[in-house]
């Protein structure tokens, strides 16, 4: 029997029950009210995803599940979207599970630090999703990603994923509250077997899953929350569901031939949550919060925009560092460009001159990503001239790979291809979460904000019932600076930050208007003025 078969056959559920484990608060682990949790808890599929609501006990379950994985012989990585995994997770969640459960404490080895726990001769590594250095420092057999949709950097998640490559087992389990349709955990769930929790009405024997509202047009006739009577009602006979009806359901896969195991968990299937509480949360919460955290479903207004208000919230005072500069260029009659680095955007503009683009590449030593279309001739020449520094970019659609952007390592070295929708989704999330910063005054940002508002995200349903997202442009209005921002984002993923191993070196000191800056940064300058000075021989780079 292989180790993976051993892990899959040795029931984590039996282990928890036999040892009478308790939660971090000391409450007994029970499955009468958490009957819906038995299958996800026992599921040791190589690829597992769960789209879930809040407050259903899933994170606690995975605390025990990771201990069981390590106990069975796997090196486990547990990744969270936090800068401080110790204070946010290990101290309040993990350590109390160890202290309150003697059978787990007996398994602990000599290493019991805040970021790694030794279980027998294996380790659990607790890591944040913000540091490349943390991601490349471990080798794993199992990767657990908690709150996937809140993890800000796909490059770092891909680095964690690469730590499974040397393993014969390669378990990958991801779960999260969803955000918007066809993004993150919802996108992964749609490509799974899509298990739904089916409940049987004890009055009429109608089997269906639970939804918020009554829908007589759905052939399943899902059970629903009767807002007038303030009860859960059957989707067929409309009478109240009994408490045990919701308690003792069963998981039913929508697609049986798909390898990825997927679960959708909402508070509607939790017996301890009465319909009155669901209705109260609906009245007191935003629609987005209600769908994401109560129903465990993605939500998007009819259109999702990167609007000016979101960008304004990202504006920061002061002058940004000019180290490890990245430039994104959208190509047309005018070349629209943005300049920034891992700290944010510090300049943008447009030009008809390729000489000006090349000048900025040299002056800032900038990792540069240039749109390949409509004419890739000069971008290709620049990529060949500045190998490993300048890249030509192509959009792709609906890719199934994990990576959002990939670089061709063979004859087309210097070419990057990205999933268009995923890339725009990530940029929109970064701007709305204020993880992109702009060191440009608001009045100077108006043209860029106008371009950003000219694109919107639409969700369509394909013939299989799978939701697909697309970013559209309004009535052929200009969107060039938004695409330049996207290319900057791509370049950021292929350029190391100063604190990363192998990072791009800071640019050399540059004279500008008689000022010498020796720390790798340069003051804001007028590009046109520099070109004028260079042509007259007064400004050498």
Q: What is the mean pLDDT of each run of 10 residues along the chain (541 residues)?
A: 56 89 92 93 95 94 94 94 83 93 89 83 90 82 94 82 89 94 90 96 97 92 97 97 94 93 97 97 94 93 78 91 94 95 94 96 96 90 93 86 77 83 89 91 94 88 81 89 96 65 28 28 36 39 28
Interatomic CA distance for residues 30 and 20, integer angstroms: 9
Residue 164: HSE in the Cβ half-sphere, 13 Å Cα cutoff = 18
154, 297, 47, 223 alpha-carbon torsion, rounded to 10°: 180
Residue 457's contacts (CB-CB under 8 Å, 6 or more residues apart) are 180, 300, 303, 304, 305, 424, 425, 428, 469, 470, 471, 472
Interatomic CA distance for residues 424 and 486, integer angstroms: 7
- What region, left, alpha or beta, does residue 235 occupy, with left being phi > 0 and alpha being psi -120 to 50 degrees? alpha
* Pairing assessment for the beta strands 510-512 and 224-226 based on DSSP bridges: unpaired
DSSP for residue 512:
E
Instruction: Please give the pLDDT value at position 154.
Output: 77
Domains in the chain (CATH in brackets) are 3-194+254-265 (3.40.50.300), 198-252+275-300 (no CATH), 318-535 (3.30.420)
Residue recorded with tokens 């969803």: 178
Instruction: Please give the pLDDT value at position 302.
Output: 60
Edge-to-edge strand order for the sheet containing 367-371? 344-351, 335-341, 326-330, 367-371, 390-396, 415-419, 405-407
- Max distance between CA atoms of the chain, in angstroms, equals 90
Instruction: Please give the pLDDT value at position 405.
Output: 85
Interatomic CA distance for residues 340 and 322, integer angstroms: 7
This prediction has a pTM of 0.72
Instruction: Please give the pLDDT value at position 397.
Output: 84
Q: What sign results for the dihedral spanned by CA atoms 237, 240, 246, 248?
A: negative
Distances (CA, A) of 487 to 154, 339, 493: 15, 10, 10
β-sheet bridge partners, residue 326: 340, 367
Interatomic CA distance for residues 131 and 156, integer angstroms: 7
């Amino acid at each position: 029997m292989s180790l993976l078969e051993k892990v899959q056959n040795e029931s984590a559920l039996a282990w928890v029950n036999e040892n009478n484990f308790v939660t971090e608060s000391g409450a007994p682990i029970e499955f009468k009210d958490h009957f819906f949790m038995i299958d996800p808890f026992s599921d040791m599929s190589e690829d597992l995803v769960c789209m879930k609501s809040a407050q259903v006990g899933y994170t606690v379950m995975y605390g025990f599940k990771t201990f069981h994985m390590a106990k069975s012989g796997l090196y486990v990585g547990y990744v969270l979207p936090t800068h401080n995994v110790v204070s946010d997770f290990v101290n309040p969640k993990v350590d109390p599970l160890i202290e309150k459960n003697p059978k787990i404490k007996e398994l602990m080895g000599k290493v019991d630090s805040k970021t790694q726990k030794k279980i027998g001769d294996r380790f659990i590594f607790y890591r944040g999703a913000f540091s490349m250095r943390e991601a490349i420092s471990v080798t794993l057999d199992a990767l657990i990603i908690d709150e996937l949709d809140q993890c800000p950097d796909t490059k770092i998640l891909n680095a964690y994923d690469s730590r499974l490559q040397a393993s014969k087992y390669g378990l990958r389990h991801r779960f999260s509250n969803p955000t918007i349709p066809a993004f993150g955990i919802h996108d992964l769930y749609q490509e799974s077997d899509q298990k739904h929790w089916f409940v049987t009405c004890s009055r009429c024997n109608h089997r269906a899953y639970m939804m918020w509202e009554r829908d007589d047009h759905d052939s399943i006739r899902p059970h629903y929350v009767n807002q007038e009577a303030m009860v859960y009602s059957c989707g067929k006979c409309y009478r109240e569901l009994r408490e045990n009806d919701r308690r003792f359901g069963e998981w039913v896969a929508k697609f049986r031939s798909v390898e990825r195991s997927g679960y959708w968990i909402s508070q509607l299937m939790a017996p301890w949550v009465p319909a009155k509480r669901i209705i109260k949360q609906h009245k007191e919460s935003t629609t987005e919060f209600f769908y994401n955290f109560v129903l465990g479903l993605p939500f998007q207004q009819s259109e999702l925009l990167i609007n000016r208000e979101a960008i304004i919230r990202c504006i920061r005072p002061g002058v940004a560092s000019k180290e490890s500069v990245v430039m994104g260029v959208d190509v047309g009659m005018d070349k629209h460009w943005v300049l920034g680095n891992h700290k944010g955007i510090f300049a943008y503009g447009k030009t008809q001159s390729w000489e000006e683009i090349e000048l900025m590449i040299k002056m800032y030593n900038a990792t540069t990503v240039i749109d390949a279309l409509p004419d890739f001739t000069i971008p290709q020449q620049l990529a060949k001239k500045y190998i490993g520094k300048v890249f030509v970019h192509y959009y792709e659609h609906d890719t199934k790979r994990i990576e959002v952007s990939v670089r061709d390592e063979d004859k087309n070295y210097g070419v990057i291809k990205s999933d268009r929708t995923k890339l725009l989704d990530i940029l929109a999330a970064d701007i709305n979460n204020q993880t992109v910063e702009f060191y440009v005054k608001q009045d100077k940002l108006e043209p860029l904000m106008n371009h950003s508002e000219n694109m919107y995200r639409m969700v369509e349903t394909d013939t299989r019932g799978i939701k697909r997202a697309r970013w559209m442009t309004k009535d052929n209005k200009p969107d060039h600076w938004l695409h330049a921002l996207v290319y900057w984002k791509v370049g950021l993923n292929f350029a190391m930050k100063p604190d990363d191993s192998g990072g791009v070196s800071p640019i050399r000191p540059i004279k500008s208007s008689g000022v010498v800056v020796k720390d790798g940064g340069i003051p804001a300058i007028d590009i046109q003025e520099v070109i004028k000075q260079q042509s007259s021989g007064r400004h050498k780079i």
